[in-house]
Structure 1
């Protein structure tokens, strides 16, 4: 392919850029997409700060307690290489498997990837600040659970599926399916 046949990303037609942007699922992907070119930024709206929408209160007629849907993201966090500039070899990048959960105030909590427990002890070389411009964050999967807010426990639900799980979905179009421990399907 010669230079005359190549097309620059910034020269893509607005319709195509908009189609690409509307297929992004996570808030982080939408923010990264918008940061590439001004034409990309103007092609899709900025995701709302409350785009993650979690914890989400679920109306429940059978329970007197408040029931919430909580979402978290399991991801790989890769720290940037630090160049020493003195000719000494720099330490290799560190990679961490972490689970992030956004609180109702918009703060992120760091959880153990294999449980629901908050991480209270961090290794010495874990970054104090996670800067998404410098660190690479790769989403592995999303996890959802239903729990009772007043009791702070899961409500006998073994699996939860949210459809569609997309940053652009309105709350009134969100569907939550669950499988209870007795094998019953909930909606």
Structure 2
């Protein structure tokens, strides 16, 4: 690290000016003292103007675009003998306040982690970005209802160039829409009868998955092109996750749902799809917690889905605004071969707390609340936050 810390000031200045996101700049400044002083931020008593998007119907919202970064938070080597010497690193989400100050959030609940400079000196830590997350808020506290998930399209568009700025969004009832700043309405993409569950940027390309497990590539021209065969998984919710360069799907089954799906064989399912021409309430049998999860890996060469029995040392983290895969070897106390996720019912009742986080273990196919198995919380900051 000392060699990087000794980079000339003019080189650090050039690097910092190439960072589009203020979150990236905040992480850049948190690397070390020399990097911090090489990149300036506006005065903390001056509020930073927010990027406001005037979304057309059906939302009718002036939405604030919020970007955060999911990071591995590591102690610098000179502090390995401190109070935290037993730890390797923690998983956090990094955002910013309206005055440009760095904020730490739980990567699943988005709950703000409160700290003071005396209790946590961020110069003692470095941040390794693992993924980016985006959200649209009506204010600093409420999300725009009706938008399930979205990503900027194209991802390289600069926020300062609003003429080129657009978003891909999965909206209410699973519709896939595109909107560019200045458009008077949304452009619906793909088959209008399909329900899309998730969207991901993988290998610098945009992909979505529908409720039957078919992955589609979003061409720059906005054409939706089938990329994978259908999975025909009957779970309620499908999440796309990139892990070690490969694309995975997590198929969630809810209480009472799996037996309903298993009542249909392959021919029944296909007959239902093509005769009805739409996705109906075949899987709307339950709204309770996830009782089972199945994981599949896309074999690009063979064009088939592989049923995954073990994630080995990998941990899948299914957030509401982004999902990612991490290695338990990189985190303090982490245990691999499991999936962290938010439960909708607990989220509604308990809000953004550890009580709403669940862990599914593939080894014994069990699902528990994080506060029941606190040893699984050690990957998060602060330690023992449950």
Shorter chain as denominator, the TM-score bin is 0.5 to 0.7
Q: Say which SS state the counterpart of residue 91 (structure 1) adopts.
A: coil
1:60 and 2:61 matched: no
User: 2 CA distance for matches of 1:49 and 1:165?
Assistant: 27
Match of 2:132 among 131, 142, 157: 142
1:72 and 2:71 matched: no
1:24-173 to structure 2, matched below 5 A, reads: 24=19, 26-28=24-26, 31=29, 35=34, 41=38, 46=40, 48=42, 55-62=50-57, 63-79=59-75, 80-82=79-81, 91-119=85-113, 129-149=119-139, 152-157=142-147, 158-161=149-152, 163-164=155-156, 170=160, 172=162
Contact 1:65/1:150, CA 8 A, preserved across alignment: no
Contact 1:178/1:185, CA 8 A, preserved across alignment: yes
Of structures 1 and 2, the one scoring higher in RCO (CA 8 A, sep 6+) is 1
Contact 1:65/1:149, CA 8 A, preserved across alignment: no
User: 1 CA distance for matches of 2:73 and 2:119?
Assistant: 12
What is the count of residue pairs matched by the alignment? 158
Give a deviation string over 1:37-84, Cα, whole Å, max 9, x none.
x9xx5xxx745569xx68521123435543221111111112331359
Q: Say which SS state the counterpart of residue 139 (structure 1) adopts.
A: strand
Contact 1:73/1:142, CA 8 A, preserved across alignment: yes
Q: What do you get for the CA RMSD once the two structures are aligned?
A: 4.3
More strand as a share of residues = 2
Contact 2:61/2:138, CA 8 A, preserved across alignment: yes
TM-score of the two chains, using structure 1 as the length reference: 0.58
Larger Rg: 2
1:172-183 to structure 2, matched below 5 A, reads: 172=162, 175-181=165-171, 182-183=175-176
1:98 CA drift (Å): 0.7
More helix as a share of residues = 2
Which runs of no fewer than 5 residues in structure 2 stay unpaired? 1-5, 181-386
User: 1 CA distance for matches of 2:88 and 2:167?
Assistant: 37
Contact 1:73/1:99, CA 8 A, preserved across alignment: yes
Q: Say which SS state the counterpart of residue 55 (structure 2) adopts.
A: coil
1:19 CA drift (Å): 5.8
